[in-house]
Structure 1
């Protein structure tokens, strides 16, 4: 019996010396390698970044955060674009949401209104001048009833690209892009190249690379929604004039020609701009990576969108993504610490340089524009996109009518096809959205 007691004592002593285990947010138990007696908080971070390019970048940021301290461990969960937010809602309803998630920048207030994300004001208020770390136009969509419910992560900005070699061939100064819509049209006509009745090259097409709504925004700096008055402003005179301009512009070529060019639009070498089949192109600044990788030394320029007329402004649009703490997350304090790192200058600069992606943190963005990891051409292009953020606005989905643009697009398409006038199209869209708002009440 004495031998048995001694043996049990040895076993118990050995067990007492083993590291304690902990239950993670995913229900798994792990050993504790932080300071003695203190368990790490394990966070589950959901993203849709699973590509060969982006997955290693986000996982390196996570690794750097995990190495920077010994209290929190972040684990990455990749879910496909079509699944991530549906599964997040289901997980939240089941009481087991992810700890941090990447989400759409234009729908933060909608999720806040439905109590799907966490109010961050108590954490932000402890950080002096916190919101000043981000571009102002990216901070305002974070707010719902005056409080922030997310932190901006990345964004983009639509700009004009032009082919300098094509400009030279057309007798245009390759260093001087068009400044106004009138110049844009003038330059395009000079770049147009026909062989008989067939266009071998087109100067520019307004809706390729950009949609009609971008031109409405560019025209007077206003979108289809007045955010101050909180109401739709779809059929304003400037919008009608803009739609008439697009219609007249496209009628010069005809729908058959435009459709044939549309069929050729794709990615990489299939892009007509890279192939030299169109001289000017509106796209986010990140389009540079396609030129870099597939343009075979193409000479190009990048500039703000032309103004409707001199002095009307170079307003353009951007989208992007945010980092959020889903409502009901088990460790919001730890999640906040990771959010701060994820949107801080070090992580933001790394993401920007490796992805050639515009980021929300001002210090991180400006550092990326000077990074020695980019080529001279890359630095100049990235710097142009950073500078263009001052012209960029976002169009968050209004809570009163989150899908209101789906009522506008069909009417606009009918106008461009000649089935109704631009004014009738926008008048109908205005009434349809007003009816939707009323029904949503």
Structure 2
């Protein structure tokens, strides 16, 4: 996750045009036969380009229908969708960062696919967090497309050099802090190795990596309606306090406080960090000779959870090729696509029933990551982007005071988050 500004206001202003131009939930205009050589258009953001391209390539090679994929720079994606919605020119299929899906569904940009989803024999195994955020008033509008989970990585070689057991990663946030401190104290004198690292000036990084510790402790960061922030209460304040202690002791990397997001995952692969929260998708791109352990993110005293991020995908409400679009979507979550395309490339699967497949089983770390899909959470708020991801938004100010400044200001700043969520 990285900071992005949600353009909900633009979408709200344009949704009436979309409704006037498009079909409704049942299937859009002039539905095509499911695999009759129809070309359907699809958009995705650059952040999930690799996975989307793999799926589209495999589908096009085995079907008469063809998906024409357009990849849009991530920072331009929300404005591009808003502009296309206003002009009645959305593609047949478009993906979205899962945290923004509730906004799109509430504005009618996705087609109702409830009956189609119900026909899938594995419907109850689809990633629950993604399905929840794509459901509005009991009706389904999206499927999981790509998944990225937050987990803890630890460097086994650095652990061994620091006198820690390289096969025993942290099982609580307090243990995480102890192990990070041990690595820093034993190996950090040269200024190259640090105990841990996090994106200290990146709202999206915070929610992706800190919030799972709250959930693992049995707490929440938002009320169910997404209109009230609980980030000024325990266990969130306990999580902040532990990370603040690491920063104050100098256990975090030298640029932690300034890190805005673009490079926050770049230090661990260099062998410079003992243990840190990371996106699960980075496992496949780590150096082949690097000994890495993977653990679920835990609360201060234990438990386990993850932020289930990534993208969901749906049929646009203006699509004239709904049947052909659905043929691709249904195939994308099939056994064939999930195992032979996604699992083969160590991607997180969109179905919990396929977690221990023949490819994932080759790497216990991948099995563990896939097993967390059903245990993690994805927060729901219509104003998520401007409240939490926006670098000028209220959450980042709160988090930075909690970690680096005056913690007494947290309550006041949380009120600003509530005002943003309800605006």
* Alignment gaps of 5+ in structure 1: 1-33
* 1:66 corresponds to: 63
Q: Distance in 1 between matches of 2:111 and 2:133?
A: 15
Displacement of 1:393 after TM fit? 1.1
The CA deviation string for residues 126-158 of structure 1, in whole angstroms up to 9 with x for no partner, is: x16553131222321111111111111121211
Query: 1:57 maps to what in 2?
Result: 54
Partner SS, residue 63 of structure 2: helix
| Structure 2 counterpart of 1:107 | 100
- Match of residue 309 from structure 1: 301
User: Which residue number corresponds to residue 341 of structure 2?
Assistant: 351
RCO higher in 1 or 2 (8 Å CA, sep ≥ 6)? 2
* TM-score normalised to structure 2 length: 0.78
Q: Larger radius of gyration, structure 1 or 2?
A: 1
* Residue in structure 2 matching 1:247, options 244, 247, 250: 244
TM-score by length of structure 1 reads 0.75
Q: Which residue of 1 aligns with 2:267?
A: 272
Q: Per the alignment, in what secondary structure is the counterpart of residue 270 of structure 2?
A: coil
1:403 has 2:386 as partner: yes
The count of aligned residue pairs is 382
Q: Match for 1:152 among 144, 151, 155?
A: 144
Deviation at 1:98, TM superposition (A): 1.1
Does structure 2 conserve the Cα–Cα contact (< 8 Å) formed by 1:88 and 1:98?
no
- Of 132-141 and 83-92, more deviation after overlay is shown by 83-92
Query: Which whole-Å CA distance do the structure 2 matches of 1:175 and 1:303 have between them?
Result: 11
Which shifted more, 225-234 or 167-176?
Answer: 225-234
CA distance in 2, matches of 1:118, 1:55: 20
Which whole-Å CA distance do the structure 2 matches of 1:179 and 1:168 have between them?
A: 18
Aligned 1:213-224 pairs, distance under 5 A: 213=207, 214-219=209-214, 220-224=217-221
Partners of 2:83 and 2:206 in 1: how far apart? 35
**Does 2:279 align with 1:284?**
yes
Deviation at 1:207, TM superposition (A): 4.9
C-alpha contact 1:50 1:79 (8 A) present in aligned 2: no
Q: SS state of the match for residue 210, structure 2?
A: helix
| Counterpart Cα distance in 2 of 1:73 and 1:195 | 54
CA contact (8 A) 2:152 2:296 kept: yes
Deviation track 1:165-187 (CA, whole Å, cap 9, x = no partner) reads 22222222111112222322222
Closer, same or farther: CA 253–60 of 1 in aligned 2, 3 Å: same
The answer (yes or no) to whether the contact 1:117–1:326 under 8 Å persists in 2 is yes
Q: Distance in 1 between matches of 2:88 and 2:322?
A: 14
- Is 1:46 equivalent to 2:39 in the alignment? no
Task: Tell me what 2:410 maps to.
Answer: 426
2 CA distance for matches of 1:196 and 1:336?
A: 53
CA RMSD of aligned residues (A): 3.5
Change (3 A) 1:285 1:45: same
- Alignment equivalent of 1:116, drawn from 109, 113, 118: 109
Whole-angstrom CA distance in 1 between matches of 2:333 and 2:113? 14
Which sits farther off after the overlay, 78-87 or 174-183? 78-87
